[in-house]
Structure 1
Amino acid sequence: MTPGPGPGEGRSGEDRVRLVRLEGAVNVRDLGGYPTTGGGRVRWGRVYRSAALHRLTAADLATVEQLGLRVVYDLRTEAEIERAPSLLPGGVRCERLAIGGSAARTRELTDLVVAGRLAEVPPDFLARVYDAMAETGAPTFGRLLTGLAEPDATPALFHCTAGKDRTGVAAALLLSLLGVDEAVILDDFELSAVHYTDPKMARLRRRLDGTDVDVERYRAVFGAPREALGTLLAALTERHGSVQGYLEEAAGTAPDLPERLRAQLVEPLGQG
């Protein structure tokens, strides 16, 4: 159960929702509303996460424009961006912060699934992908989080292709620095199963209807199991003492980064 407002629920009784509904993009979500240590909560309308933005309709662009985004951080590789360049409203700055590795590993997994060799996929595959991503992508995650801490840096949005792996890890790191409880962070991560995995599986079922392909085996590719992210967070804590320690040691972020992020993105309960 997701603490605070979930998909389609009002924000503390207000007429706002976590999910931003777009025709041409999925898994677009506001990271606001989550409680933080010290009696605060993440501000609504400051940071969004999403999947790729290359199929936005005119109506979508109008909706995105209403979010007032100042910057969009694109975590995809150059090759991914070339295949599917983002569509954004005028005046929105786009920063490319490529985090590689996960796309290639996902293709590797997809190839095994398509070939019917699911037994060869290790049960901790995604956890391994996330761990490798955190180590090789640490400087990029650090730049993203440092950028979000700048005055007047938000509203902002960060995204990858599916909005669940690279984006999911980035969101987890951000929420951790903001003081959100780990169980809530994992709940937020699992929302990708609702807003990405389930729709993706439904489209696959329609496409493969009448064939003898077991569509469910693709869930290993498109899933968002909380165990994978939980394993990563535990590993970072074991190696670096905390998520903050990981970012300082592996990404070179400043010791006051959490404080600066909270100043921008956390408010006392009852405000907003």
Structure 2
Amino acid sequence: MGVGVDMKEAEKVSYKIVAEPPSHIKLGPHEQFIFIKHKQFHKAEGVAGILSHPKSMQYAQLSDRLKNEDQLGLPQHRLVLLVHGHQAHKNSNYQPILASKLAGEGFYVLRIDFRGLGDSEDCKDVSLGRTIEQDTEDIESVCELISCERLRDELFELPVTLDTIVGHSRGVMAMFEFCRRYPNRFVPNLVNCSGRYDGRGIVQKRLKYTPNWRKDGGFYCDLPRHGGVVKTWIPKSETMSGVECPTHLFGQINQQSSIMSCYGTCEEVIPLTAVASFANLFQGRHYLEMIRGATHNFYGLPNDPNALKLPLRNGLVNYCYVVADKIAEYLSWEKQLQRFYAKTQYIKGTPINPAEIVTRWPLPHAYSKVSNFRDLGGYQTVYQGRRIKTGCFYRCANVCDITPDALKYLQHKLDVVTVFDLRAPDEAKENGLLDNNKLVKSLPFNNNMNTSPEVLAEHYQGLLISSYSFPKAYMIVLKNSIDSIKTFFQFLLEPQGAVAFHCTAGKDRTGILSMLLLSILGVDDDTIAREYELTTLGLKTETKLIKKLEARGDLYYSMLGPNSEALVKEYHLTPDKMAKTLLSSRYEAMRFFIDDFRAEYESADSFFMHELQFSTHAIGRLRDLYLEE
């Protein structure tokens, strides 16, 4: 079978990479043919799949990846799972095209065969056939693999998060039913391609093509198996599992999940009333794309004029390329950022009043003249799902220009008793200070910027070359800020009211402190990185800082240190490009920093105990103080 991983008793799943796939499996240079086996669900090899790695991983060094960033997206901590429909398999329709497209943009993509199809093992019970419940078990097997850190990191090389499931036709039912059956498996993005809503249509279809299927207890159809086509008996129970699937309950899935639906205007299998049904079911979080001229499987009709000049497949216009483009756009970092902002801009329920709704952004710039001011509360944690309390911590950019009314609101309505300034004193004087000695506490990070020229140059290289090199700079800041970090968290142990903290933009030093705060309170890495990325939106009002950074011009070259000329040539750096990088706050910058943090300190708890000298009792007190009951 090729490279295998032995299953430990404590692990429910195992995987195998097939070193020499069968001849019908055609792999790209960045793909692997694998089997995933769940101890509880599978009795043979498990489910077969093709794993596409980010294409930029063909370059071993980060420097080489950065040089080719414009052509190939840098690796992301995000996995997209593709699941097929009836009489289909992992390479049906748009799946290989979409996998290649997303891998080129930095995603990991796994497309699997459900049991009983393609190269996966047979159905658990052939007398029942491929039921929706069985399909959800196959999806759960993938999730269980991702949740097993050892296996996940071996297979994917990065601690990936299941970011998206894309389902087609019957696979859409399996996708939504999985999310309903396994509520703890949160998936941010769900893509419905040609999904059926009303299962009664399945009965009508069967009666049309096989009128005696009920009486006979099933029907025969051709299914793709191991590179060929096999005439297979489909038991009545398999059909009825789709008919009886409780689609009306899909609205129960996690409210933080966003749903995209994609249908062809020439859909001939699913009634297009499904579009309205899903839109109503997922009101407020549903996005629709109609592919003009496309059928159920996203091909054109025989007389299609092919106005888009798309490639043909079997003589038909291949709209699968359009589908891939639409889904890739939906999953772009800009679109995901906007959706996360929309879903989190209000926090529903507070410890005082569960029916209360508070804004995450209580000091809008137009009113306060403070950018990037937001509440870090409301996020769910790993501790019995308890959320971080609202109104305890606020992060922001420099507050020196705060209006008198906003300052009063900050102190008397938000109950902020201390504003921690993470800037070095000289930097604070140069960029503006809040004239309120009782409220502001200086807490300089990065050892007051009192570091050697070599370390300082390394720090700026990390911030100026690419957002993917931020972790290098962030680790320098973190290690040079231990005393200040310890002071901050000791203050939190004796709460007197809410606190705010900021640096210049509220991005880097503030982002590091936010990561530590959210991590020790139990927020997952994906949410921490998405929260960090909100600064992209929060800084749009920081015109004074933006102009100042843009005006530095050639000064950026000297900040790179003695090797600036070589670095500028290697990474095609310009002052404008470096200024934009310095202001960026991409999701992946934080995820890679968290990776480096874990490699260095193992965990947030370990960092607090060994670096900050906090006892387990003190860590527990932080959680008791700042997590909702």
Query: Could you say if the C-alpha distance between residues 77 and 204 of structure 1 is closer, same or farther in structure 2, counting changes exceeding 3 Å?
Result: closer
- Provide the residue aligned with 2:340 in structure 1: 2
Q: Return the match for 1:144 from 465, 469, 488.
A: 488
**Higher relative strand content:** 2
Separation (CA, whole Å) in 2 of partners of 1:254 and 1:43: 22
**Higher relative helix content:** 1
Normalization by structure 2: what TM-score?
Answer: 0.36
CA contact (8 A) 1:193 1:224 kept: yes
Local SS of the residue matching 2:628: strand
CA contact (8 A) 2:418 2:500 kept: yes
Identity of aligned residues (%): 23
**Residue-by-residue CA offset, 1:179-237 (whole Å, 9 max, x unaligned):** 111111111111101101x34479959x98xxxx9956532010011222212211221
Asked if 1:99 is matched to 2:445, the reply is yes
Cα deviation, residue 72, structure 1: 1.6
Report 1:110-125 matches (<5 A).
121=465, 124-125=468-469
- Provide the residue aligned with 2:361 in structure 1: 19
- Provide the residue aligned with 2:93 in structure 1: none
- Provide the residue aligned with 1:183 in structure 2: 526
Local SS of the residue matching 1:40: coil
CA contact (8 A) 1:33 1:43 kept: yes
**Residue-by-residue CA offset, 1:65-103 (whole Å, 9 max, x unaligned):** 221112221111111222211145x8x543211003797
Separation (CA, whole Å) in 2 of partners of 1:93 and 1:202: 24
Report 1:153-232 matches (<5 A).
153-196=496-539, 198-200=540-542, 218-232=579-593
**Residue-by-residue CA offset, 1:156-197 (whole Å, 9 max, x unaligned):** 11111111111111011011111111111111111101101x
- Provide the residue aligned with 1:118 in structure 2: none
- Provide the residue aligned with 2:3 in structure 1: none
Separation (CA, whole Å) in 1 of partners of 2:498 and 2:467: 37
Q: Return the match for 1:31 from 369, 376, 381.
A: 376
Asked if 1:130 is matched to 2:474, the reply is yes
Cα deviation, residue 46, structure 1: 1.0
Asked if 1:78 is matched to 2:420, the reply is no
CA contact (8 A) 2:347 2:378 kept: no
Cα deviation, residue 10, structure 1: 4.9
Query: Could you say if the C-alpha distance between residues 200 and 62 of structure 1 is closer, same or farther in structure 2, counting changes exceeding 3 Å?
Result: closer
CA contact (8 A) 1:70 1:155 kept: yes
CA contact (8 A) 1:127 1:229 kept: yes
Superposition RMSD on alpha carbons, in Å?
3.2
Cα deviation, residue 244, structure 1: 1.9
Q: Structure 2 counterpart of 1:86, which letter?
A: L
Separation (CA, whole Å) in 1 of partners of 2:447 and 2:409: 32
Query: Could you say if the C-alpha distance between residues 264 and 105 of structure 1 is closer, same or farther in structure 2, counting changes exceeding 3 Å?
Result: farther
Larger Rg: 2
Cα deviation, residue 59, structure 1: 2.0
Query: Could you say if the C-alpha distance between residues 200 and 85 of structure 1 is closer, same or farther in structure 2, counting changes exceeding 3 Å?
Result: closer
Separation (CA, whole Å) in 2 of partners of 1:74 and 1:131: 20
Q: Structure 2 counterpart of 1:11, which letter?
A: K
Bigger RCO (CA 8 Å, 6+ sep): 1
Cα deviation, residue 264, structure 1: 1.2
Local SS of the residue matching 1:25: coil
**Residue-by-residue CA offset, 1:96-149 (whole Å, 9 max, x unaligned):** 110037976699569x97xxxxxxx25643111101111111222122122112
Q: Return the match for 1:49 from 395, 406, 411.
A: 395
Structure 1 gaps of 5+ residues are 114-120
- Provide the residue aligned with 2:553 in structure 1: none
